[in-house]
Chain A
Amino acid sequence: MTTPEQFERDLQQQYQHEKARHAAPPQLSERIMQRAKPPVSQRWWPAWRNMQLALSSAFVLVLGYLLLLQQPSSPLYYQIVVTSDSQYREVQQHRITVQKEQALAMLPGDASNAYQQYVETAQRNDAFHTQTGLLRQNAEQWQISVCNDLLLKVDRQLLAQLNVVPTPDDFQLKQWVEFVSNDAGQLVAIRPTSTVLQCPQA
């Protein structure tokens, strides 16, 4: 006769044996796993979305950078302020300014172009005027005096825009120079000269 303990053991063994004989068919697992896998397009979606985000960000950055480059800087103007004082009949202050009033636009390369034009046509063009004066340098500006008739005050910012040969650093603190103006009175060139201006005695 079988004991209850033996019966329980047999029952458990038989159950495990039956279960092993009737395992889930492989195709059942395959079907479920197939359903668990997202479609190919869906699997690529996060990567595609991230790529779009990265490209959009890069595009915005590049666009912003280009816009920054394209942004027009404030235009500069060549301004000549004419006054007089007790010593000079006329005092001209030549400077660069951002104020449009009473000034002529000074586009990049204007000074170079004017100088080239002067070099090419100096011998036969009355549009340029050459004068000789005594240059004195100080920290902020150059001052060129033509006897008691004219005093030119040229600020350093404008000098950087002009064709000064040799460079402004090579000029002595006080020396005779020849300066060229166009018909608008703008300085086109300044160069050292050995000519000494003989001023009439006042």
Chain B
Amino acid sequence: MALSFFLAGWMGAEETAEQLFCRYQDSSNVTYLQKLFAMHGSDLYHFLLQQSDRTLAEDISQQVWLTLLEQPSSFRGASSFKTWLFSIGRNGLIDELRRLKRWQPEALLDDMYTDGHCPEQQLSRAKQQLQLGKQLQLLPFFQREALMLQLEGFSIAQISDITQQPDETIKSRLRYARQFLQQLAGVSDDNA
């Protein structure tokens, strides 16, 4: 493993986030931090943005990266760097939403089904009016979270790690999220 690490460096192969973090930790060279941010900064920001708004996404992103600067030992390497980053970001976001009394993870789903129209009508309207990206916003917080993390490339186990939920819960959330979006997209039931 050490040999592959040195060979990777010698061959000029792209450094992993974990390698960059170690180098930053050892040298405090901001260049490594810049590379880390270029690698995952926008991923995290986008995830937080989809779950909140621009201001909150910026604030939480900044908090997460400052946590990295001020408490570098908080990343112990138990998970991948990206998993750790999203985990800290996700917890920070929920804490902040609670503090702002905006923590209503099921609100969107409830509203969607209780505004006086039947779900079919709602779906039909959404299908007509919204693009796929916007449709994500119609999902409940946790379903959207699970789906976005999966689209971000995390495995079920990693999503479970980030959200501190059992695998089965994650799988259920993903299933429900997909069913909803498939209905909006008009996916054939025969093929589903």
Contact = CB atoms under 8 A, between A and B. Distances in A.
Interface of A: 1-7, 10-12, 14-15, 17-19, 22-25, 28-29, 31-33, 35-38
Contacts of B62: 28, 31-32
Most buried by A among B28, B42, B50: B42
A32 B63 CA distance: 9
A36 B186 CA distance: 48
A10 B132 CA distance: 8
Contact of A1 (B42, B132, B186): B186
B191 interface: yes
Contacts, number: 87
Contacts of A6: 187
Nearest to A15: B151
A19 B42 contact: yes
Given A29-B37, A35-B66, A23 B131 contact: no
B181 to A, nearest CB: 7
B185 interface: yes
Contacts of B187: 1-4, 6-7
Contacts of B58: 25, 28
B157 to A, nearest CB: 20
Contact of A29 (B41, B132, B181, B185): B41
Contact of B46 (A1, A14, A22, A29): A22
Contact of B191 (A4, A11, A19): A4
Main SS class of interface, B: helix
A11 B139 CA distance: 14
Given A7-B187, A25-B58, A35 B45 contact: no
B167 interface: no
Interface string B18-53: 000000000010100110010001111110011000
A49 to B, nearest CB: 16
B151 A12 contact: yes
Contacts of B49: 22
B119 to A, nearest CB: 19
A136 B50 CA distance: 114
A5 B43 CA distance: 24
A19 B132 CA distance: 13
A18 B181 CA distance: 16
B132 A3 contact: no
B188 A29 contact: no
Nearest to B133: A18
B151 A11 contact: yes
B42 A24 contact: yes
B126 interface: no
Contacts of B181: 7, 11
